[in-house]
């Protein structure tokens, strides 16, 4: 397969101003009529041939200005269509025949539960018709959809519906016109027998927007939360970014078969059902929060992505990093900012740091790719969002807003680069971000080493920060980056001390963002009356690893005194990591440091603390994070050490856990408010811990909660606790009852699958293999694959990394089977094998053998080839 390089970017030789599409949808196939108004690009070298992308298309007709082209005037190539000689401006007509009903890749036009739908990002439009499928071609689209009226009463596309009517043979049509020029990756079409839920939104300038949500009839009662979230997002984007919605209609559609979470098609967002449908009895708190965030994310793309789009796919983070940053600000404003920050940092430190130190490591703006779908990564999305967040920190709220206003105004209707984004931020603020740009160019997670010195005589406290960025594939030498490093100093009585960078300064802040730009820098704080404990990288102000020789006593002190909620949590995590790591390979009888027990006892008993923060602090670091922290991971040893710590804590704190459970049980109607979510989280964590040690009273409480729960968080919480306990009879009874009750709800069945496949106790390999044979499992549905195979390989690490390597062989076998039906999903499943070099020998060899087995298959898709090949290099 061919590698595409950023350095080879050239402006397109031809532009498309207008596209007229007509879809004739039939059961046996779809005919697509495509008429494009094309003209030569005055900025490109003249005399170039016209090249259009196309995959899996049957060409039925080709005309220029209405006249058929002779076969000798064009060539159908493996990836498209080439016309050697064309005039400066002309209309090209293309007719193609495609088979959406056989499309299992879920790219282009396909069928999901009887409805037609599309997914065109990144390169799906080429599976629909011949077209220059690149984001810097922005055209106006007019789309006429024709289909059988009884089967497909709802026919949708982007923009406004401008015409509709009946046709012969029980068919009908609707014509849609999108006034905004857009790249073809934002094109969408939906046809189906769907119910419509309507709502309205009045914009800040007083325009009325029609909000419409389309779902299968059985899901009609699951739309309210998404529509409410949408209205909150629309209001928030007006207030915080001054962005108003631009069309008269905004549509959301839910589909069951979808490769990712959702898609921001102009005016017609398409969602994976699991990321948009919710009701109290079927969706957990986590799902409610995820839906609010994803609905907002897709809506925010209307400006950050659609009105201003990417010049090429190397610039993906331009829209994704910025939009994730915007959605995280939104979630933070809707709930608890500290908790949101903890969640974002956990994801980054567990999974993005792993990506950044593995064979697929790439910069936020990659330099090359084989298959762009493989670059919808945590680095592009989450690290990209952190990069925007650091700009926000460096510029401050007001200048950041000036920068975003300038960016939207300057580039409205254009396809631009991450550099254009940074330039707008520089121009609006007057700051020089030249060194900062390295965050887009250098892969790898910077490591910041911190040393300190307190001079009692001089009353100075000196912090020395040094940084290095480890080598990554293709980048052996790195330069120092521009790192905003927020700090505080905490005095003996637990208060923040003033931070004076000059002696005698008055009104010193108690929180400061130090700007680390050199390889090593020293910061001296004056008038420091007592030896402080440093609070480093407050709020996780940069996506870096910090190394400082904290003592356990210092961590305990930070856990209870740091005014920065994030660092309070972080101190607890570091302490727990230290304790678990010290138990690796130790005998069973080895006891846990009593100071950790005392700290957790305090957390459980202190009723004045912020409940949401306590709920987070009670979570021990995950096995995945402990693996990421190891140079050579021994998964079984990590699993065993972590389990022993959990068991001992639970045994010692039984009374407090029980009291916490009882205190946080609430009656009344379900509400997904931050306070109620925190209570349920605390209660279910306490229950889980108690069942982990097979506590009989907790067993009865779990059974009662399972039987009487009025919401899915409590129902699934009780089920998960039972499944993770040794009460085998209760576990299988509860699993059967749960399935019986919810078997006709695909989203709940997916939870049922993942609770089992992700459980170290219930999800042994034979049990997981049995789930794949279950009648509700469907190899064509990515959610089902993720909920069984993804949950097993991603969460159930003790069983996946079985020392006989059976987990790896299982995964390799299914990746190979999926490669021919859905290469995007197959390639994503390779991820758990890619970091084989960081594991102990048994694991390492087994993972490598699995990768080699996959690599040996001839005709691998580009998707799987790229990940496997780079992993073995």
Enzyme catalytic residues = 298
Edge-first strand order for the sheet with 67-68 is 67-68, 58-64, 89-98, 30-40, 14-25, 139-148, 171-182, 160-166
Q: How many residues bind Zn ion (CB under 5 A)?
A: 2
CB of 522 to ligand HT7, least distance (A): 41
**Residue with smaller CB distance to ligand HT7, 284 or 373:** 373
**Sign of the C-alpha dihedral computed for residues 328, 331, 335 and 339 taken in this order:** negative
The candidate with the shortest Cα–Cα distance to 341, out of 668, 530, 567, 503, is 567
**Residue with smaller CB distance to ligand HT7, 233 or 719:** 233
The 10 Å CB-count burial string (b at 16+, else e) for 351-363 is bbbbbbbbbbbbb
**Residue with smaller CB distance to ligand HT7, 122 or 757:** 122
CB of 300 to Zn ion, least distance (A): 8
For residue 419, give the 3-state DSSP assignment: helix
Query: Which range touches ligand HT7 (CB under 6 A), out of 94-102, 260-268, 361-369, 735-743?
Result: 260-268
Within 8 A by CB and 6+ apart from 353, the residues are 445, 545, 628
Residue 263 interacts with, from ligand HT7, Zn ion, none (CB under 5-8 Å by kind): ligand HT7
Rg of the chain over all Cα atoms, to the nearest angstrom: 28
Binding of ligand HT7 by 338 (CB under 6 A): no
| Distance, first Cα to last Cα, the chain | 15
For residue 536, CA distances in Å to 360, 486, 541, 578, 766 come to 30, 7, 9, 18, 46
Binding of ligand HT7 by 263 (CB under 6 A): yes
Contact 718, 709 (CB under 8 A): yes
The 10 Å CB-count burial string (b at 16+, else e) for 225-238 is bbbebbbbbbebbe
**Residue with smaller CB distance to ligand HT7, 147 or 186:** 186
> Residue 224: which H helix or E strand, with range?
helix 224-241
Dmax (CA) for the chain in angstroms is 95
Considering only 20, 51, 121, 133, the residue that binds ligand HT7 (CB under 6 A) is 121
**Residue with smaller CB distance to Zn ion, 320 or 819:** 320
**Residue with smaller CB distance to Zn ion, 243 or 512:** 243
Contact 281, 711 (CB under 8 A): yes
Residue 109 interacts with, from Zn ion, ligand HT7, none (CB under 5-8 Å by kind): none
Considering only 109, 122, 620, 825, the residue that binds ligand HT7 (CB under 6 A) is 122
Query: Which range touches ligand HT7 (CB under 6 A), out of 162-170, 258-266, 521-529, 789-797?
Result: 258-266
CB of 269 to ligand HT7, least distance (A): 9
For residue 435, give the 3-state DSSP assignment: coil
CB of 827 to Zn ion, least distance (A): 19
The candidate with the shortest Cα–Cα distance to 657, out of 623, 613, 608, 614, is 614
How many C-beta atoms lie closer than 10 Å to residue 509's C-beta?
A: 13
Q: Residues 304 to 343: which contact Zn ion by CB under 5 A?
A: 320, 323
Binding of ligand HT7 by 376 (CB under 6 A): yes
Binding of ligand HT7 by 189 (CB under 6 A): no
Backbone angles phi, psi at 780, to 5 degrees: -90, -5
Residue 822 interacts with, from ligand HT7, Zn ion, none (CB under 5-8 Å by kind): none
Q: Residues 559 to 588: which contact Zn ion by CB under 5 A?
A: none
How many C-beta atoms lie closer than 10 Å to residue 165's C-beta?
A: 8
Binding of ligand HT7 by 282 (CB under 6 A): no
Residue nearest to ligand HT7 (CB): 260
Q: Residues 308 to 337: which contact ligand HT7 by CB under 6 A?
A: 320
Strand partners, 174: 145, 164
Q: How many residues bind ligand HT7 (CB under 6 A)?
A: 15
Considering only 266, 297, 365, 814, the residue that binds ligand HT7 (CB under 6 A) is 297
**Residue with smaller CB distance to ligand HT7, 258 or 753:** 258
Considering only 373, 445, 541, 715, the residue that binds ligand HT7 (CB under 6 A) is 373
**Residue with smaller CB distance to ligand HT7, 266 or 616:** 266
The candidate with the shortest Cα–Cα distance to 40, out of 10, 15, 64, is 15
**Residue with smaller CB distance to ligand HT7, 297 or 311:** 297
Considering only 34, 118, 259, 417, the residue that binds ligand HT7 (CB under 6 A) is 259
Per-residue binding letters, 772-811, with ligand HT7 (x by CB under 6 A)? ----------------------------------------
Q: Residues 81 to 120: which contact ligand HT7 by CB under 6 A?
A: 119
Angle between helices 712-723 and 674-692 (to 10 degrees): 20
Residue 260 interacts with, from ligand HT7, Zn ion, none (CB under 5-8 Å by kind): ligand HT7
The candidate with the shortest Cα–Cα distance to 381, out of 330, 314, 322, 469, is 322
For residue 703, CA distances in Å to 665, 667, 734, 743 come to 14, 17, 8, 20
Binding of ligand HT7 by 260 (CB under 6 A): yes
CB of 710 to Zn ion, least distance (A): 34
**Residue with smaller CB distance to ligand HT7, 111 or 297:** 297
CB of 373 to Zn ion, least distance (A): 14
CB of 313 to ligand HT7, least distance (A): 10
Contact 81, 59 (CB under 8 A): yes
The C-alpha angle with vertex 319 and arms to 390 and 348, in degrees rounded to 5, equals 50
**Runs of H (alpha helix) within 583-653:** 594-605, 611-617, 623-629, 635-652
> Residue 859: which H helix or E strand, with range?
none
CB of 260 to ligand HT7, least distance (A): 3
Binding of ligand HT7 by 866 (CB under 6 A): no
Binding of ligand HT7 by 257 (CB under 6 A): no
* Chain-centroid distance, C-alpha 285: 18
**Residue with smaller CB distance to Zn ion, 323 or 379:** 323
Residue 376 interacts with, from ligand HT7, Zn ion, none (CB under 5-8 Å by kind): ligand HT7
Binding of ligand HT7 by 863 (CB under 6 A): no
**Residue with smaller CB distance to ligand HT7, 343 or 564:** 343
The candidate with the shortest Cα–Cα distance to 442, out of 392, 476, 486, is 476
The CA-based dihedral angle spanning residues 496, 502, 503, 509, taken in that order and rounded to the nearest 10 degrees: -20
For residue 713, give the 3-state DSSP assignment: helix
Q: Residues 808 to 827: which contact ligand HT7 by CB under 6 A?
A: 824
CB of 624 to ligand HT7, least distance (A): 23
> Residue 418: which H helix or E strand, with range?
helix 418-429
- Report the residue count for the chain: 873
Within 8 A by CB and 6+ apart from 450, the residues are 463, 464, 465, 534, 536, 546, 547, 548
Binding of ligand HT7 by 264 (CB under 6 A): yes
Query: Strand 14-25 vs strand 139-148: parallel, antiparallel, or unpaired?
Result: parallel
Residue 315 interacts with, from ligand HT7, Zn ion, none (CB under 5-8 Å by kind): none
Binding of ligand HT7 by 583 (CB under 6 A): no
CB of 785 to ligand HT7, least distance (A): 14
Contact 232, 89 (CB under 8 A): no
Per-residue binding letters, 531-560, with ligand HT7 (x by CB under 6 A)? ------------------------------
Residue 391 interacts with, from Zn ion, ligand HT7, none (CB under 5-8 Å by kind): none
CB of 307 to ligand HT7, least distance (A): 15
| Interaction site with ligand HT7 (CB under 6 A) | 119, 121-122, 259-260, 262-264, 297-298, 301, 320, 373, 376, 824
| Interaction site with Zn ion (CB under 5 A) | 320, 323
């Amino acid at each position: 397969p061919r590698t595409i390089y950023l350095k080879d970017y050239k402006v397109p030789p031809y532009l498309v101003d207008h596209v007229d599409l007509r879809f004739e949808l039939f059961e046996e196939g779809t005919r697509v009529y495509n008429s494009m108004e094309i003209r030569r690009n005055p900025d490109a070298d003249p005399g170039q041939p016209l090249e259009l992308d196309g995959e899996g298309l049957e060409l039925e007709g080709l005309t220029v200005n209405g006249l058929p082209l002779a076969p000798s005037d064009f060539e159908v190539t493996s990836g498209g269509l080439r016309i050697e000689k064309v005039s400066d401006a002309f209309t090209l007509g293309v007719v193609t025949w495609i088979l959406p009903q056989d499309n299992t890749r879920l790219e282009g036009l396909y069928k999901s539960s009887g409805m037609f739908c599309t997914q065109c990002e990144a390169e799906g439009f080429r599976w629909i018709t011949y077209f220059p499928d690149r984001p810097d071609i922005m055209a106006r689209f007019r789309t006429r959809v024709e289909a059988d009226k009884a089967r497909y009463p709802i026919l949708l596309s982007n923009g406004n519906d401008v015409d509709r009517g009946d046709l012969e043979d029980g068919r009908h049509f609707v014509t849609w016109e999108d006034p905004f020029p857009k790249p073809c990756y934002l094109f969408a079409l939906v046809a189906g027998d769907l119910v419509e839920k309507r709502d309205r939104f009045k914009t800040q300038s007083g325009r009325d927007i029609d909000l419409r949500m389309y779902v299968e009839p059985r899901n009609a009662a699951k739309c309210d939360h998404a529509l409410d979230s949408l209205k909150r997002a629309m209001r928030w984007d007006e207030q915080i970014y001054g962005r108003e919605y631009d069309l008269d209609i905004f549509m959301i559609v839910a589909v069951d078969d979808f490769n990712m979470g959702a898609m921001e098609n102009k005016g017609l967002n398409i969602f994976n059902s699991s990321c948009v449908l919710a009701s109290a009895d079927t969706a957990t708190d986590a799902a409610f929060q995820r839906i609010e965030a994803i609905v907002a994310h897709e809506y925010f793309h209307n400006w950050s992505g659609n009105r201003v789009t990417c010049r090429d796919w190397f610039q993906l983070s331009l829209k994704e990093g910025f939009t994730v940053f915007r959605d995280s600000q939104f979630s933070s404003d809707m709930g608890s900012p500290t908790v949101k920050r903890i969640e974002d940092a956990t994801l980054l430190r567990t999974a993005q740091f792993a990506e950044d130190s593995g064979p697929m490591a790439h910069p936020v703006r990659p330099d090359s790719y084989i298959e762009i779908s493989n670059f919808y990564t945590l680095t592009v999305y989450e690290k990209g969002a952190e990069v925007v967040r650091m700009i926000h920190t460096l510029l401050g709220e007001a200048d950041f807003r000036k920068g975003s206003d300038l960016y939207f105004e300057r580039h409205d209707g254009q396809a631009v680069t991450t550099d254009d984004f940074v330039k707008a931020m520089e121009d609006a603020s007057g700051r020089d971000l030249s060194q900062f740009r390295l965050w887009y160019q250098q892969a790898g997670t910077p490591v910041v080493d911190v040393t300190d010195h307190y001079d009692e005589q001089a009353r100075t406290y000196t912090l020395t920060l040094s940084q290095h960025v480890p080598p990554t594939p293709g980048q052996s030498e790195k330069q120092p980056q521009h790192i905003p490093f927020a700090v505080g100093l905490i005095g003996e009585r637990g208060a923040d001390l003033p931070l004076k960078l000059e002696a005698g300064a008055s009104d010193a802040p108690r929180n400061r963002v130090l700007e680390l730009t050199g390889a090593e820098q020293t910061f001296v704080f004056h008038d420091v009356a007592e030896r402080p404990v440093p609070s480093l990288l407050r709020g996780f102000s940069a996506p870096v690893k910090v190394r400082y020789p904290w003592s356990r006593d210092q961590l305990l002190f930070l856990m209870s005194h740091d005014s920065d909620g994030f660092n309070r949590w972080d101190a607890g995590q570091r302490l727990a990591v230290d304790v678990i790591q010290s138990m690796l390979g130790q005998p069973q009888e080895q006891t846990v440091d009593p100071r950790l027990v005392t700290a957790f006892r305090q957390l459980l008993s202190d009723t004045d603390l912020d409940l949401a923060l306590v709920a987070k602090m009670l979570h021990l670091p995950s096995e995945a994070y402990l693996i990421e922290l190891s140079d050579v991971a021994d998964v079984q040893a990590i699993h065993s050490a972590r389990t022993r710590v959990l068991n001992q804590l639970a045994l010692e704190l039984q009374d407090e856990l029980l009291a916490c459970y009882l205190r946080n049980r609430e009656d009344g109607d379900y509400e997904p408010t931050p306070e109620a979510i925190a209570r349920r989280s605390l209660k279910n964590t306490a229950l889980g811990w108690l069942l982990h040690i097979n506590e009989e009273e907790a067993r009865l409480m779990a059974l009662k909660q399972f039987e009487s729960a009025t919401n899915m968080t409590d129902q699934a919480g009780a089920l998960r606790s039972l499944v993770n306990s040794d009460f085998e009879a209760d576990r299988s009874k509860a699993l059967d009852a749960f399935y019986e009750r919810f078997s006709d709800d695909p989203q709940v069945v997916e939870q049922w699958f993942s609770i089992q496949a992700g459980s170290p106790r219930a999800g042994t390999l034979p049990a997981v293999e049995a789930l794949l044979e279950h009648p509700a499992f469907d190899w064509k549905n990515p959610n089902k694959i993720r909920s069984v195979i993804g949950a097993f390989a991603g969460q159930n690490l003790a069983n996946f990394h079985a020392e006989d390597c059976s987990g790896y062989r299982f995964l390799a076998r299914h990746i190979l089977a999926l490669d021919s039906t859905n290469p995007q999903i197959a390639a994503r499943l390779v991820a758990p094998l890619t970091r084989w070099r960081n594991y102990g020998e048994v694991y390492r060899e087994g993972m490598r053998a699995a990768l080699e087995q996959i690599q040996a298959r001839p005709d691998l898709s580009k998707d799987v080839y790229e990940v496997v090949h780079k992993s073995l290099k």
